[in-house]
């Protein structure tokens, strides 16, 4: 086991708390392996009727994966990074297929890897502190951990907008668009967990009773614009639509996209298009592992992490530098099947 998780049984539930507060509970390989082993053990344990996933302390549920390790691995042969993605995606799939109810408490920052362990949950509880995002285009990665499945299944073109811009949603917005199933004030969470541990057969009712009136969701005012300007799966057409409009909103979003990796934006649009047509979540994760194993060792990821996380100069030099230079052949190579023995497989 790992000290980065607090694992216990409380009443009739299994309870996993992420416990790396200094890095907003970002997931590392040991955490993914320990969560996997615990969930497998609890799957066949009759004394565990439901599973709760939350964080121990601090301002976020989970800010993502172990970016420093991934970048260091990408600079070398990528082996360690590929192992992390492989096992993280197995954990995501295990949660997606889990036979017992899972309750994820998305209190605070819920990004990247945190999305991957909360979106498969039966119950996804947002609060006034929730800040949900898939910000990978800013560091040359891509919206993985099932992003191609979840984002492509949101109404209209919201998923494409979130994948390309990395925009943050608050708790009310998550509830409005279906990323959260409930909106509960943070001060009520401990009561919710206690009551669920005593009555795991009444999760729906307990969360319903403790739910608050949801504040207006600001994103609702922009959904028409998002559907209009982000309608195309061709990245250049999205940019052209924003350029042609010239409204304050369009200019702001166009400015945001100008800072993102063109490679990643093209990958994300194709990933969501293919994800929408996937028959199973395992198919999605296989596709994402192919992408991850390639993107991990490419320039944009290593440079994006340098610019935004290490040096913090916020001035990444993308290569290819423009959408026009990012060829279909390059994107095809990122999505190509791996050798049979290297392909991702579920547990």
Domain boundaries, the chain: 5-342
Three-state DSSP state, 50: strand
Which candidate in 14, 60, 64, 65 is catalytic?
Answer: 65
Q: Count how many Cα atoms sit within 13 Å of the Cα of residue 97 in the half-sphere of its side chain.
A: 14
Contact 344, 293 (CB under 8 A): no
Q: Kindly report the length of the chain.
A: 347
136 catalytic residue (yes or no)? yes
Contacts 24+ apart (CB under 8 A), 107-111: 107/54, 107/55, 107/61, 107/186, 107/189, 108/24, 108/55, 108/58, 108/59, 108/60, 108/61, 109/24, 109/59, 109/60, 109/61, 109/62, 109/63, 110/60, 110/61, 110/62, 111/62, 111/63, 111/64, 111/135
**Residue given tokens 């994300």 in the structure block:** 268
Q: pLDDT tens, 106-139? A: 999 999 999 999 999 999 999 999 999 999 999 9
**Does 57 qualify as catalytic in the annotation?**
no
E strand spans, the chain: 5-10, 13-18, 50-55, 60-62, 102-106, 109-111, 123-126, 131-133, 169-170, 182-183
Q: For residue 73, what pLDDT is reported?
A: 96
Residue 45 banded pLDDT, cuts 50, 70, 90 = very high
Asked whether the predicted pLDDT for residue 184 surpasses 80, the reply is yes
- Asked if residue 246 has pLDDT above 90, the reply is no
Is 65 annotated in the active site?
Answer: yes
Confidence at residue 67, expressed as pLDDT on a 0 to 100 scale: 93
Give the residue-averaged pLDDT of 235-245: 97
Which three-class secondary structure state does DSSP give residue 6? Answer: strand
Q: Report whether pLDDT(2) > 90.
A: no
Superfamily of domain 5-342: 2-enoyl-CoA Hydratase; Chain A, domain 1 (3.90.226.10)
Q: Which one from 88, 107, 144, 303 is the annotated catalytic residue?
A: 144
The mean predicted confidence, pLDDT, of the chain is 97
How far is the C-alpha of 208 from the C-alpha of 202, rounded, in Å?
A: 10
- 60 among known catalytic residues: no
- Of 54, 88, 107, 136, catalytic: 136
Average pLDDT over residues 283-287: 98
Euclidean distance between CA atoms 56 and 328, whole angstroms:
44
Q: What is the mean pLDDT of residues 299-326?
A: 96
- How far apart are the C-alpha atoms of 18 and 62, rounded to whole Å? 8
Out of 113, 159, 171, 275, pick the active-site residue. 113
301/293 Cα distance (integer angstroms)? 12
């Amino acid at each position: 086991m790992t000290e980065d998780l607090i694992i216990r049984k409380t009443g009739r539930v299994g309870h996993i708390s992420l416990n790396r507060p200094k890095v907003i509970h970002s997931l590392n390989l040991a955490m993914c392996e320990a969560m996997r082993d615990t969930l497998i053990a609890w799957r066949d344990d009759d004394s565990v009727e439901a599973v709760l996933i939350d964080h121990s302390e601090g301002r976020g549920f989970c800010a993502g994966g172990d970016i420093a390790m991934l970048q260091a691995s990408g600079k070398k042969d990528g082996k360690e990074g590929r192992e992390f993605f492989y096992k993280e995606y197995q954990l995501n799939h295990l949660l997606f297929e889990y036979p017992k109810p899972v309750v994820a408490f998305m209190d605070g920052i819920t990004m990247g890897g945190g999305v991957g362990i909360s979106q498969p949950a039966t119950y996804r509880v947002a609060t006034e502190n929730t800040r949900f995002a898939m910000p990978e285009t800013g560091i040359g990665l891509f919206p993985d951990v099932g992003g191609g499945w979840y984002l492509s299944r949101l109404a209209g073109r919201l998923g494409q907008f979130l994948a390309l811009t990395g925009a943050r949603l608050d708790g009310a917005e998550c509830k409005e668009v279906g990323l959260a199933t409930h909106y509960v004030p943070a001060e009520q969470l401990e009561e919710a967990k206690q009551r669920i541990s005593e009555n795991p057969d009444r999760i729906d009712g307990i969360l319903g009773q403790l739910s608050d009136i949801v504040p207006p969701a600001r994103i609702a005012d922009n959904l028409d614009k998002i559907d209009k300007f982000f309608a195309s799966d061709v990245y250049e057409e999205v940019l052209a639509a924003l350029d042609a409009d010239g409204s304050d909103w369009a200019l702001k979003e166009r400015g945001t996209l100008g800072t993102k990796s063109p490679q990643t934006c093209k990958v994300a649009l194709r990933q969501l298009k293919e994800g929408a047509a996937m028959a199973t979540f395992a198919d999605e994760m296989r596709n994402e592992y192919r992408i991850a194993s390639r993107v991990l060792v490419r320039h944009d990821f290593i440079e994006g992490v340098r610019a935004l996380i290490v040096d913090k100069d916020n001035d990444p030099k993308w290569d290819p530098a423009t959408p026009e230079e990012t060829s279909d052949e390059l994107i095809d190579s990122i999505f190509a099947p791996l050798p049979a023995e290297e392909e991702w497989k579920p547990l």
